[in-house]
């Protein structure tokens, strides 16, 4: 797995080779960043943004954000092995100071007087996990977003998640079996 662009372009990050995690494919990741950079529909850019990377795995999305100039990335990953590898990736690139890593369930992190605000939210839950919608609701309820923000969700293309009362959907893109949803809290 490689970093596509920015300060660390071409650098390799470690990832898990197991059946419990699903790395974000480089082509899908590159498409997400192209839309963030070039779409007139997206009102926030990576540079100088605060990023919340949920279900972050080994951190490929958030690390790419740091490489492209984000201010800070908060990673939340409950799997201990993935979280340890994420920390190793951050240390190997000497960017641990630009990040915070929580090795816990998202609900537990949000229940701890969590008041930080973010410009970009990236959700990459397991495809069979519909519970991430509750986490979207928690973010909205606790107003953890700046006025200019974007929510990006990576799902399987056949998922039929309901976001009507939570998000205003801006754009949906399909890449192979992946569906990328861009939205804003309404």
**Model pLDDT for residues 107-126, shown as the tens digit of each residue:** 899 877 788 999 999 999 98
pLDDT for the residue 110: 86
Flag residues of the chain having pLDDT under 50: none
Rounded to whole angstroms, the Cα distance separating 115 from 98 reads 18
Q: Looking at residue 51, what DSSP letter applies?
A: E
Rounded to whole angstroms, the Cα distance separating 35 from 106 reads 26
CA angle 74, 30, 136 (to 5 degrees): 40
The β-bridge partners of 175 are: 178
Best CA proximity match to 129, nearest among 58, 95, 182, 79: 79
Best CA proximity match to 16, nearest among 91, 88, 93, 105: 88
Express each pLDDT in 8-41 by its tens digit.
999 999 988 765 566 778 889 999 999 999 999 9
Residue 160's CB is within 10 A of a number of other CB atoms, namely 6
Q: Where are the beta strands (DSSP E) in the chain?
A: 50-54, 72-76, 99-102, 118-123, 145-156, 167-175, 178-185
Sign of CA dihedral 74, 133, 104, 82: negative
pLDDT for the residue 160: 87
pLDDT for the residue 130: 72
Give me the domains of the chain, ranges plus CATH numbers.
26-185 (3.40.50.150)
pLDDT for the residue 21: 60
Is residue 73 within 8 Å of 62, Cβ to Cβ? yes
For 27, the token pair is 């082509």
For residue 2, the surrounding DSSP H or E stretch is none
pLDDT for the residue 127: 78
């Amino acid at each position: 797995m490689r970093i596509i662009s920015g300060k660390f372009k071409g650098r390799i990050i470690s990832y898990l080779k197991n059946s419990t995690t699903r790395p974000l494919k480089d082509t899908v990741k590159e498409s997400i960043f192209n839309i963030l950079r070039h779409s007139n529909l997206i009102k926030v850019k990576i540079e100088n943004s605060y990023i919340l990377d949920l279900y972050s795995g080994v951190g490929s999305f958030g690390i790419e954000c740091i490489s492209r100039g984000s201010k800070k990335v908060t990673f939340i990953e409950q799997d201990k092995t993935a979280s340890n590898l994420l920390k190793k990736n951050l240390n190997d690139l000497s960017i641990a100071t630009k990040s915070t890593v929580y090795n816990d369930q998202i609900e537990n992190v949000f229940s701890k007087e969590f008041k930080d605000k973010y410009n970009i939210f990236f959700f990459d839950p397991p495809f069979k996990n519909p519970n991430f919608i509750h986490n979207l609701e928690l973010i909205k309820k606790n107003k953890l977003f700046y006025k200019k923000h974007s929510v990006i969700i990576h799902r399987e293309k056949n998922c039929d998640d309901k976001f009507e009362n939570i998000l205003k959907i801006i754009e949906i893109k399909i890449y192979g079996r992946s569906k990328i949803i861009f939205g804003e809290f309404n």
